Chains A and B, each alone.
Chain A
């Protein structure tokens, strides 16, 4: 475990909205090739942590490095799946076109996607089982299908680190299993996957690494070592024995 490379390092990160801290002095090291859940109650700053790491939100203090370099220099190593609810699904575009957006990062400004990008996007759609829907307008997709399209968009970024904000929100059981299988495959291929997660029951089954967060970092490490009642109680403020032992 000790000789693993560090994929993401967060130092003394503090983020505030209107001068009210929502993340307070976070130190976090995420080793390479883990499938990590970030858990915590609502308002714990889970999404904010991801957004701050990716530079979408400006922190008021602290620093973030991706493989020992600032994020701006490592963009191409990182893929991001925002919350499904964060975009307007009535936007006039198709499933394939949304996936193609994942290729824009490597293209850079002005250059347009071509056949190579299209082929990669079709492959990503195939991987998530959405190829038959490639030309469908995105508002005509079900919630689970929309989430798969988002996942395909992240896959096409062909990154080393994947950040996902609640990918299981509002999806059916079939899609949830399909998504977690793909995430597990990514980890096996040596990628690092970081997921904001809500369902505590599935943490031991899905993930091998976990971070407990509630404005401050409570704990981080292998699921088998630290996913226990003590940390859950510290994070959620109530006794979680019943919930986890079920």
Chain B
């Protein structure tokens, strides 16, 4: 690997990390769209900042553009508070307005500045290593690495300091307010750091793709864990590994780096969405099928329990009576037999003692509806899986 290659991957990894952390809270607060709004509406801030500083990585530009991001949030909430339009409409009204101001500013001054709409939308990571940071004439590395490294350090510092406050205000804003942790302060703190991150990252990955880096890793991690800390760690892991994998995909295909990174993020999400152990689509479908079978089994056992007369317990009668398709009845009968809950002699079905015990237990739960009964039943029901 050449030095620029290593540097590009380093920048990509740092950008992904810095985006993934605020992304977790945006996803949990159901504010994913706000990141989209911020990433677009910071454009006029960047353009004006660029006029003033003539340096895309200047801290002043980042601050100015980040303020535009926070203004976006204020405007969206202001419009929403009037009660005349809903939040998504308010977002849809605010960010195109601000973005278009930025586009017009670029077009009017296209000759003077090296900033075009394509670069704004998509970014270009490949050029990042060429913009060096010189301290006393000594080259200390790519400027964007230092900028994003700084933003990441601040983000991690704030996360560690205010983790508990962020958690409680995200989960329960009412309690947070009653405890004295102003949800408004925390909200705007999060919005500010998100804006700063988006501005910093935008040079590398562009206004559209930065949204993917914020939202996709968090959404992926959300499907895999039920612990906020683990969700943060997983988001960072997904973000960084997708960013680096994306770089190599781009290298192989000779394609856009940011485009490849986003594609990898999408594929990783899709895989987890399908195959996550508990919340994944396949696991959910499997569980639903399993539950349907379990309910059928219970219905069948209850029917047997209620009827001692032979005519009600004839296997053909069961087909008609419980109104199941033949295949379904067969599955249930097989399952019950496999677990020694019934015996079948001369096509007459009889409950075994084990079947009787299980049915009584189920009945007790249905009648009492006690939580502890559910727990016991849950364990029991697991017996029938697979």
**Residues of A with Cβ closer than 8 Å to B?**
18, 51, 54-56, 72, 75, 78, 80, 82, 86-88, 91-94, 97-98, 101, 104-105, 107-110, 112-113, 132, 137, 139, 142, 144-145, 153, 172, 174
In the complex, besides A87-B172, A91-B28, A104-B165, 16 extra interface pairs with C-beta distance below 8 angstroms are A80-B174, A80-B175, A82-B172, A82-B174, A86-B172, A91-B170, A91-B171, A91-B228, A101-B175, A104-B164, A109-B165, A110-B165, A113-B164, A137-B226, A142-B371, A172-B371
| Contact call B226/A93, Cβ cutoff below 8 A | yes
B residues within 8 A CB of A88? Answer: 28, 30, 171
Residue among A75, A91, A98, A144 facing the most chain B CB atoms (10 A cut-off):
A91
Q: Which of B28, B168, B228 contacts A104 (CB 8 A)?
A: B168
| Contact call A94/B227, Cβ cutoff below 8 A | yes
Q: Which of A82, A107, A108 contacts B175 (CB 8 A)?
A: A82
- Nearest-neighbour CB distance to chain B for A179, whole angstroms, equals 14
A residues within 8 A CB of B83? Answer: 18
Within 8 A of A (CB), among B148-176: 161-165, 167-168, 170-172, 174-175
Q: Which of A54, A93, A132 contacts B177 (CB 8 A)?
A: A54
| Contact call A174/B370, Cβ cutoff below 8 A | yes
| Contact call B174/A93, Cβ cutoff below 8 A | no
Stretch from B10-18, B39-47, B178-186 forming part of the interface with A: B178-186
Q: What CA separation (Å) do A144 and B375 show in the bound complex?
A: 14
Q: What CA separation (Å) do A80 and B167 show in the bound complex?
A: 17
Q: Can you spell out 12 A-B residue pairs with CB atoms less than 8 angstroms apart?
A: A54-B177, A55-B177, A75-B178, A91-B171, A91-B228, A92-B222, A92-B230, A92-B231, A93-B226, A94-B227, A98-B171, A113-B164
Scoring B residues 348 to 386 as 1 if CB is less than 8 Å from chain A, else 0, what string do you get? 000000000000000000000111001100000000000
**Nearest chain-A residue to B183 (Cβ)?**
A56
Task: Verify if B80 is at the interface (C-beta below 8 Å from A).
Answer: no
**Nearest chain-B residue to A87 (Cβ)?**
B172
Known A104-B168, A174-B370; contact A51-B174, beta-carbon cutoff 8 A: yes
Known A18-B83, A82-B172, A91-B171; contact A56-B225, beta-carbon cutoff 8 A: no
B residues within 8 A CB of A174? Answer: 370-371
- Nearest-neighbour CB distance to chain A for B272, whole angstroms, equals 15
**Nearest chain-A residue to B165 (Cβ)?**
A109
B residues within 8 A CB of A110? Answer: 161-162, 165
B residues within 8 A CB of A97? Answer: 228
| Total A-B Cβ pairs within 8 A | 85
Q: What CA separation (Å) do A104 and B170 show in the bound complex?
A: 14
Within 8 A of A (CB), among B1-50: 28, 30
A residues within 8 A CB of B180? Answer: 72, 75, 105, 108
- Nearest-neighbour CB distance to chain B for A116, whole angstroms, equals 15
Q: Which of B162, B168, B374 contacts A101 (CB 8 A)?
A: B168
- Nearest-neighbour CB distance to chain B for A237, whole angstroms, equals 27
**Nearest chain-A residue to B162 (Cβ)?**
A110
- Nearest-neighbour CB distance to chain A for B121, whole angstroms, equals 33
Q: What CA separation (Å) do A78 and B162 show in the bound complex?
A: 23
Within 8 A of A (CB), among B76-135: 83
| Contact call A172/B225, Cβ cutoff below 8 A | no
Q: Which of B163, B165, B228, B369 contacts A93 (CB 8 A)?
A: B228
Q: What CA separation (Å) do A86 and B369 show in the bound complex?
A: 25
B residues within 8 A CB of A108? Answer: 180
Scoring B residues 212 to 223 as 1 if CB is less than 8 Å from chain A, else 0, what string do you get? 000000000010
| Contact call A93/B371, Cβ cutoff below 8 A | no
| Contact call A80/B178, Cβ cutoff below 8 A | yes
Residue among A80, A92, A108, A113 facing the most chain B CB atoms (10 A cut-off):
A92
| Contact call A93/B167, Cβ cutoff below 8 A | yes
| Contact call B174/A86, Cβ cutoff below 8 A | yes
B residues within 8 A CB of A104? Answer: 164-165, 168, 179, 181
- Nearest-neighbour CB distance to chain A for B156, whole angstroms, equals 15
B residues within 8 A CB of A153? Answer: 175
- 7 tightest A-B CB contacts, nearest first: A105-B179, A137-B226, A80-B178, A82-B174, A54-B178, A56-B177, A87-B172
A residues within 8 A CB of B168? Answer: 101, 104
Q: What CA separation (Å) do A142 and B365 show in the bound complex?
A: 14
| Contact call B165/A101, Cβ cutoff below 8 A | no
**Nearest chain-A residue to B180 (Cβ)?**
A75
Q: What CA separation (Å) do A59 and B196 show in the bound complex?
A: 34
| Contact call A142/B227, Cβ cutoff below 8 A | no
**Nearest chain-A residue to B229 (Cβ)?**
A92
| Contact call B226/A94, Cβ cutoff below 8 A | yes
Residue among B28, B164, B227 facing the most chain A CB atoms (10 A cut-off):
B164
- Nearest-neighbour CB distance to chain A for B220, whole angstroms, equals 13
- Nearest-neighbour CB distance to chain A for B160, whole angstroms, equals 9
A residues within 8 A CB of B28? Answer: 88, 91-92
- Nearest-neighbour CB distance to chain B for A18, whole angstroms, equals 6
Q: What CA separation (Å) do A142 and B375 show in the bound complex?
A: 11
**Nearest chain-B residue to A86 (Cβ)?**
B174
- Nearest-neighbour CB distance to chain B for A167, whole angstroms, equals 14
Q: What CA separation (Å) do A78 and B231 show in the bound complex?
A: 32
Known A92-B222, A172-B369; contact A87-B171, beta-carbon cutoff 8 A: yes
- Nearest-neighbour CB distance to chain A for B137, whole angstroms, equals 41
Residue among B170, B174, B230 facing the most chain A CB atoms (10 A cut-off):
B174
B residues within 8 A CB of A93? Answer: 167, 171, 226-228
Known A82-B172, A101-B171, A105-B179; contact A92-B374, beta-carbon cutoff 8 A: no
